Amino acid sequence: VARNPGEAEFHQAVREVLESLGPVIDRHPEYLEMKMLERICEPERQIIFRVPWMDDKGEVHINRGFRVEFNSALGPYKGGLRFHPSVYLGVIKFLGFEQIFKNSLTGLPIGGGKGGSDFDPRGKSDSEVMRFCQSFMTELYRHLGEYTDVPAGDIGVGGREIGYMFGQYKRITNRYESGVLTGKGIAWGGSLVRTEATGYGTVVFANEMLKTRGESIDGKKVMVSGSGNVAIYAMEKVRQLGGLPIGFSDSSGYVVDEAGVDLDLLKQIKEIERGRVSDYAERRESASFSDRGSIWDVPVDVALPCATQNELNGEQAATLVKNGVKAVAEGANMPTTPEGIHVFQQAGVLYGPGKAANAGGVATSALEMQQNASRDSWTFEYTEERLTDIMVNIHDQVATTAESYGAPGDYVMGANIHGFEKVANAIQAFGLV
């Protein structure tokens, strides 16, 4: 804490991982001697830079850009870029730290990193977003490369932003280096299923957890927070597996639609019109919008937090438990507070932490890199099959690891230990690095 003052989210993420690692250190005291924990908690490189840009009225703005290249033991740094006013070093470091273990769990050759800016894309015109992205990439490009560091999207960074950034990278470097960014458009090196991957994968993971108790998503009422990329496609997969998504949110409030969410309408509003969730309630009779209380007050069988960090606290977790929730799988990164996690685990609710449950996005990014490297593009069906296999495999490995350390059903412990061991072994093999 003294070494990284004021980085509350980073401290929270590190504490959660370290709390799981006691039994690993007991089995492998050499990790302690080799200062493995200190090495994993210290990013390999942190880049902070100025991003000047001009708005449509000719006014100059200065934002701050970040890229934390956290760990490259298993492959090039890989992790998204977040554009949101709440971004500062502590948020990027927490996300980068989580990414190390998540990427390790996918079984694919990718290291961990994360980046972004405190730029707020909401309410900006297309040309303002383009000018910002071009300025951001004008500094960031020198740190990237398909063998070095490969960013993707995250909150506030979708296909439009990746397009502007890829265009600028290509222009500056004079290289059509498809593998340098993922989340690209299908016509220019993107992968089918990448848009859907995080949400789909989270629901596959939830379904696998439910299967361990002889249940499934089929017939379950599901609440999904957020209404962005992850939330929308989580709801789509819930529908495909026979469940009923009954609500979603944004930072202004939440919508409940007991008839089941009309995904075509929601996509129209969020992906095409870039509107708010209240617009959905205005256009659909069975839906109501509220900016009071919490989305987690609504009784459901399955909760999928897919918005942002620390959006589900201990009190809200207790309400979900009281209302009979059976499973919680995190589409977002660290959405449940430590108190919330404790409530779920004490109550015996199936709880899948983000670094395992939402790994489908980065896994499919790695599949995009594979397609780019072989100058190939795969069908939707084949790519989704790979994604599903990866998610089932992550679930099984996490569950087996938890069991082998005497904590059956503890997906937090299983994910942290399994993710850590592979990275630690690779670092050890490289010597003092």
- CA proximity to 255, closest of 222, 276, 235, 277: 277
- 312: contact with ligand NDP by CB under 6 A: no
Using rule CB under 6 A, residue 356 touches ligand NDP: no
Residue whose CB is less far from ligand NDP, 31 or 360: 360
Give the containing element (helix H, strand E) for 322.
helix 314-322
The yes or no reply on residue 371 touching ligand NDP (CB under 6 A) is: no
Quote the least distance from Cβ 89 to ligand NDP, whole Å: 16
For ligand NDP, which is the closer residue by CB, 149 or 250? 250
The site for ligand NDP, by CB under 6 A, has a size of 25
Using CA atoms, how far residue 330 sits from 123, 288, 327, 355, in Å, is 28, 24, 10, 8
Q: In angstroms, give the least distance from the CB of 121 to ligand NDP.
A: 9
With residues binned 3-state (H G I as helix, E B as strand, rest as coil), the percentages for the chain, rounded to 5, are 50, 15, 35
Q: Which one of 129, 155, 281, 356 is in contact with ligand NDP (CB under 6 A)?
A: 155
* DSSP secondary structure of 339-374: HHHHHHHHTT-EEE-HHHHTTHHHHHHHHHHHHHHT
Query: What Å distances lie between residue 162 and 47, 165, 183, CA to CA?
Result: 20, 5, 7
Residues 242-261 that bind ligand NDP (CB under 6 A): 249-252
Q: Indicate whether 154 belongs to the interface with ligand NDP (CB under 6 A).
A: yes
Residue 198 interacting with ligand NDP (CB under 6 A): yes
Q: Does 304 bind ligand NDP (CB under 6 A)?
A: no
DSSP-derived 3-state class of residue 379? coil
Binding window for ligand NDP (CB under 6 A); candidates: 140-148, 213-221, 306-314, 372-380:
306-314
Q: Is 93 a catalytic residue?
A: no
Point out which span in 22-30, 103-111, 163-171, 305-313 binds ligand NDP (CB under 6 A).
305-313
Q: Tell me the pairing of strands 112-117 and 60-71.
A: antiparallel
Using rule CB under 6 A, residue 307 touches ligand NDP: yes
Nearer of residues 31 and 280 to ligand NDP, judged by Cβ: 280
**Residue 404, helix vs strand vs coil:** helix
Least separation, in Å, of the C-beta of 226 and ligand NDP? Answer: 3
Residue 411 identity (one-letter amino acid): Y
| Contact residue for ligand NDP among 90, 113, 156, 245 (CB under 6 A) | 156
| Residue among 163, 156, 169 nearest 80 (CA) | 156
Does an H or E element contain 178, and which?
Answer: none
Q: Which is nearer to ligand NDP, 31 or 308 (CB)?
A: 308
Which of residues 332, 366, 390, 402 is near ligand NDP by CB under 6 A? 332
How far apart CA 321 and CA 312 sit, in angstroms, is: 12
176/380 with CB nearer ligand NDP: 380
Could you tell me the sign of the dihedral formed by the alpha carbons of 98, 103, 104, 105, in that order? Answer: positive
User: In DSSP terms, which residues pair with 285 in a beta bridge?
Assistant: none
What's the rounded Cα separation, in Å, for the pair 26 and 156? 42
Smallest gap from Cβ 333 to ligand NDP, in A, equals: 4
Q: Does 196 bind ligand NDP (CB under 6 A)?
A: no
Contact between 424 and ligand NDP (CB under 6 A)? no
Site for ligand NDP, rule CB under 6 A: 153-156, 198, 225-231, 249-252, 306-308, 311, 331-333, 358, 361
What are the catalytic residues?
114
